Chains A and B, each alone.
Chain A
Amino acid sequence: QKEVEQNSGPLSVPEGAIASLNCTYSDRGSQSFFWYRQYSGKSPELIMFIYSNGDKEDGRFTAQLNKASQYVSLLIRDSQPSDSATYLCAVNMFGAGGTSYGKLTFGQGTILTVHP
């Protein structure tokens, strides 16, 4: 079983729709969870992180965490063509909220395409 697993893609949504990206993780002791966006040929850029159960919203992005189910998701509202990228879920299996060790385990990524 992979340590961090993302829903298989690619995912294609029309412009303006909601894109839903999912991620599960195997280590129940994981503390911090991250969503990164990676454009082709570029390094990842952080979208948001979450470490408490529930929802965390930032603009068009909402991260949801359910530690009991070992599940984290990212919703992108009003998707735009510029959101087309690979989305990487990452888990910090050693850190705790506010004291990140920084060692991340990444999922395999989900390719999102937003078509006009």
Chain B
Amino acid sequence: GAVVSQHPSWVICKSGTSVKIECRSLDFQATTMFWYRQFPKQSLMLMATSNEGSKATYEQGVEKDKFLINHASLTLSTLTVTSAHPEDSSFYICSAPGGGETQYFGPGTRLLVL
């Protein structure tokens, strides 16, 4: 089946630095990708919709200037957490819709901000 990869799988950074997370669809093209965030013991919360060739659409309460999304090609979307702080520590998961009702999730990136 279709595969979505994420890189890195985990990252530890100092407060104030920026972190870039990549999401790739490996064997299919994705004009749309989704970025979710999951805090411990909580469910996935949609952060934004990444659109190839246009601006991302952010969910209410998500700061677009803090979470920069770039959908550079039909197989790559990146999420950059700018000036990360400890409260940004979370599990970030991307997904891409496949055919029909299928949606493929990446393996997730665990971010720890010290």
Interface residues of A, Cβ cutoff 8 Å to B: 32, 34, 41-46, 49, 51, 88, 92, 95, 97-98, 100-109
Chain B residues within 8 Å of A98, by CB: 100-101
In the bound complex, residues from chain B placing their C-beta under 8 Å from that of A95 are 101
Query: Do residues B46 and A104 form an inter-chain contact, with CB atoms below 8 A?
Result: yes
Partner of A102, one of B45, B103, B106, B108: B103
| Residue B42 CB within 8 A of the other chain | yes
Picked from A41, A92, A106, the residue with its CB within 8 Å of the CB of B101 is: A92
Interface secondary structure of B, over-half rule: strand
A86 to B34, CA, bound (A): 21
* Cα distance, A103 to B100, chains bound together (Å): 13
- Cross-chain contact of B107 among A43, A46, A104, A108 (Cβ < 8 A): A43
Contact B97 A101 (CB under 8 A): yes
Docked-complex contact A100 and B100, CB < 8 angstroms: yes
Beta-carbon contact of A105 and B101 below 8 Å: no
> A42 touching B97 by the CB < 8 A rule?
no
CA gap between A42 and B43 in the complex, in Å: 12
Q: Is residue B32 within 8 Å, beta carbon to beta carbon, of the partner chain? A: yes
Q: How far, in angstroms, from A105 to B44 measured CA to CA in the complex?
A: 8
